[in-house]
Structure 1
Amino acid sequence: MVAFGVLLLAAAPAAAKAADRSDQFSFELGAATEYTAKGVGKSDGEPHVFGSVTWSPGPAYVKVFATPVELSQGSDAEILTTVGVKPKAAGFDFDFHAIYRLRPGTRAGVDSTFWEAEADVTRKMGPTSVRLRVNYTPNGFARAKEAWWVEGQATVKVAEKTKVSAALGRREVERGVDYTAWNVGVRQGLTKNLDADVRWFDTSKGDDLKGEYRAGLVGSLILKF
């Protein structure tokens, strides 16, 4: 929660200074019944709020995202700083970026930071778009070492403000838990800037009913401006 507040305080003066360059900045605020990442829960089944600010003067961009978390290593927040570029070629949209993750509150003796490299490739075909994501971590969080996350996602626009999507991903990590995760859900535009998303998550470790790998329905509201 503290990290989320710090992000908002930092974003405010940036927004003021950007009055004559508003098209370069975008902001997002939201709330969800649980924080999920790479197909699993990260807030111990509790609701969470989140916020982000993105500066994109061209195909390159910088984004800072923050949210509270509840992890077994004591982490109470997660702050992601992403630097990337979004080129287009041969009908494909690409997004190549590096992510620096900081988890404040992590107990002593556990490294609270790590890097990730991620690439998205998206192809739009009428009302349908498909995306492949590959994420690589050379040295992960806590005891985890080298890790890969590969996910495929398909999205279909079924109405002017309604999209249905499904995703299937695989996580493999040295000195960690390997699992397969999937989700399916609907995203509905409520107003020009407000969206709602309802999504069912599950994993190959879904029998862990009390842990981060359990199945569950997650709802969220996202405000963009």
Structure 2
Amino acid sequence: MLTVSHPLHFKNNHLYVEIGGSLWVYDTGADSTFGNQPVSLLGPAEEIQSHYAGQFSAADISGFLGETVAGIIGADIINRYDHIIDLKKNILTVSDGNLTSVGTAQPLDFFMGVPMLPAKVGNMPCNLFFDTGAQISYYQGDAPSNASDAGTLQDFFPLIGEFETPTKMIPIELTGIKHTIRFGKLPGMMGMALKMADVSGILGNEVMRNRITSYFPRRGQLILQA
């Protein structure tokens, strides 16, 4: 079993892993990896594509984030391994063996490599993509009556570029866990793409903050520690 650790950086609600002195967006919601140099989470570095969907480069992502990044590490690499994402100590542990963790287990399914999990948003059952690269969560359904306004947010997704969304604080229930978190609404094509996957939204990295999250994609498990 090979296991390594990498420094994590959580800046302006975005999650980065540092590899060889370069920052990479750590993004379970991206189906493929791209960047300006070879990369690996475990073992020898490998060549990757320079652009996402033939359009967006590491420089484009850096411009939006206001942080120089080498690229995005997506599900095609992340899903090969077990991960313990410790945002208390800011350490990512990656292994090709089976890591163990305590906490509340969330069952996962996958669509094109992107994990999704069952949830209740405002008491409405739904499926959400689990996206460590998303600074807030998204819900395409109607906001419940007990949702409160949380202002507008400027965000970015590679397929649609920059956009602005109104946001609300909405209660969410996962398996054994309840939170109230910030949700926006995705525009146009991105919202339609979710419907094709029978998914109602995106669970962003807000639920991971200041806790240990274990992501075991080969076993279809996400474990959130209290």
TM-score normalised to the size of structure 2? 0.28
For the pair shown, which has the larger CA radius of gyration, 1 or 2? 1
Q: Which has the higher strand share?
A: 1
RCO comparison, higher one (Cα < 8 Å, 6+): 2
